[in-house]
């Protein structure tokens, strides 16, 4: 009987210690302080719960804007990109004039940027070039572009410009990979079309010479000497201007993407 009473008292104490009603008594400052401690400890899942509790209980409090921003950051660090992006979008809609809006665009760019890196480390190099989806790269580029367009003096602008250049080169490389893939398989029209994307969408990228070289080879294979000569002439002008001979290769290198990991 005494043993049963002791067990009952133990469970009662445990229940009291985790009573949600006790947590309801925390002030906004206390909840925010707890969340900050969790973030410092890198306990991101715990921080998310604390910040969301703060948001639900004090939606118009003085910590509301900051906690919404930190929810997005915590989801990002907890490797939940979809939830992080949703939190960013909510912030942008709720606080369109926030002084920290530049950071939110930067964070959005980073989230997509990391998705791209994770894809490359996962299945990117195992896929056929024509099957690769550059959507995350384009989303990342657009977020960084919006940042530097709206906030050119932001502390995040310079890093965003570096990442944008990397993304441009990577997107151009993606098209060159696909064009080379089609060229090797005799799909010459498809090869030309993918090479043209580089010329029209990424005219400042170093991959333009590769695109022209692929087009020269494809037009030659299709028996279109006039187009081949015209393209060769443009290629020669590019070589003369830059002093760099185009490299014909089956699988162009993707560039030093490893330099810009976040």
Q: What's the pLDDT at 240?
A: 73
Q: What's the pLDDT at 22?
A: 55
Q: Are residues 66 and 190 located together in one domain of the fold?
A: no
- For the entire predicted model, the pTM comes to 0.73
Q: Are residues 166 and 147 located together in one domain of the fold?
A: yes
Q: What's the pLDDT at 258?
A: 26
Q: Are residues 70 and 140 located together in one domain of the fold?
A: no
Q: Are residues 94 and 176 located together in one domain of the fold?
A: no
Q: Are residues 161 and 48 located together in one domain of the fold?
A: no
What CATH number corresponds to the domain at position 108? Answer: 1.25.40.10
Q: Are residues 64 and 123 located together in one domain of the fold?
A: no
Split into its structural domains, the chain has a count of 2
| Count of all residues that appear for the chain in the document | 262
Domain that holds residue 63: 1-98
Q: What's the pLDDT at 4?
A: 52
Q: What's the pLDDT at 7?
A: 44
Q: What's the pLDDT at 120?
A: 54
Per-residue pLDDT for the chain (262 aa), expressed as one digit of tens each?
A: 445 545 444 444 444 444 444 556 889 999 999 999 999 999 999 999 999 999 999 998 999 999 999 999 999 999 999 999 999 999 999 999 999 999 999 999 999 998 876 655 445 455 544 455 678 888 999 999 999 999 999 999 999 999 999 899 888 988 999 999 999 999 999 999 999 999 999 988 889 999 999 999 999 999 999 999 999 999 998 877 765 554 443 333 333 322 222 3
How many Å apart are CA 235 and CA 231, to the nearest integer?
Answer: 6
Q: What's the pLDDT at 170?
A: 86
Q: What burial letters (b/e) apply to 223-244, b meaning 16+ CB within 10 Å?
A: eeeeebeebbebbeeeeeeeee
How many Å apart are CA 38 and CA 50, to the nearest integer?
Answer: 9
Q: Are residues 91 and 108 located together in one domain of the fold?
A: no
Q: What's the pLDDT at 80?
A: 96
User: Read out DSSP for 86-149?
Assistant: HHHHHHHHH-TT-TTHHHHHHHHHHHHHHHHHHHHHHTGGGS-GGG---HHHHHHHHHHHHHHH
Q: Distances in Å between the alpha carbon of 18 and those of 7, 14, 184, 230, 246?
A: 17, 7, 65, 77, 68
């Amino acid at each position: 009987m005494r043993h049963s009473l002791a067990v009952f008292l133990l469970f009662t104490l445990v229940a009291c210690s985790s009573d949600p009603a006790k947590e309801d008594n925390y002030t906004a400052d206390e909840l925010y302080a707890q969340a900050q401690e969790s973030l410092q400890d890198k306990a991101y899942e715990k921080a998310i719960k604390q910040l969301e509790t703060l948001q639900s209980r004090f939606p118009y409090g003085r910590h509301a804007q900051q906690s919404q921003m930190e929810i997005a950051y915590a989801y990002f660090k907890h490797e939940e990109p979809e939830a992080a992006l949703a939190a960013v979008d909510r912030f942008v809609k709720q606080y369109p004039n926030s002084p920290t809006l530049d950071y939110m665009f930067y964070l959005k760019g980073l989230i997509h940027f990391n998705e791209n890196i994770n894809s490359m480390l996962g299945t990117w190099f195992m896929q056929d070039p024509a099957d690769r989806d550059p959507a995350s790269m384009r989303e990342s580029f657009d977020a960084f572009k919006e940042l530097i367009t709206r906030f050119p003096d932001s502390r995040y602008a310079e890093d965003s410009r570096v990442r944008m250049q990397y993304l441009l080169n990577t997107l151009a490389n993606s098209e060159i990979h696909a064009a080379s893939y089609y060229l090797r398989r005799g799909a010459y029209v498809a090869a030309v079309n993918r090479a043209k994307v580089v010329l029209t969408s990424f005219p400042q990228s170093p991959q333009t010479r590769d695109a022209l070289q692929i087009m020269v080879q494809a037009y030659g294979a299709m028996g279109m000497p006039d187009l081949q000569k015209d393209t060769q002439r443009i290629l020669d002008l590019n070589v003369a201007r830059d002093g760099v001979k185009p490299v014909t290769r089956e699988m162009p290198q993707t560039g030093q993407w490893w330099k810009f990991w976040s």
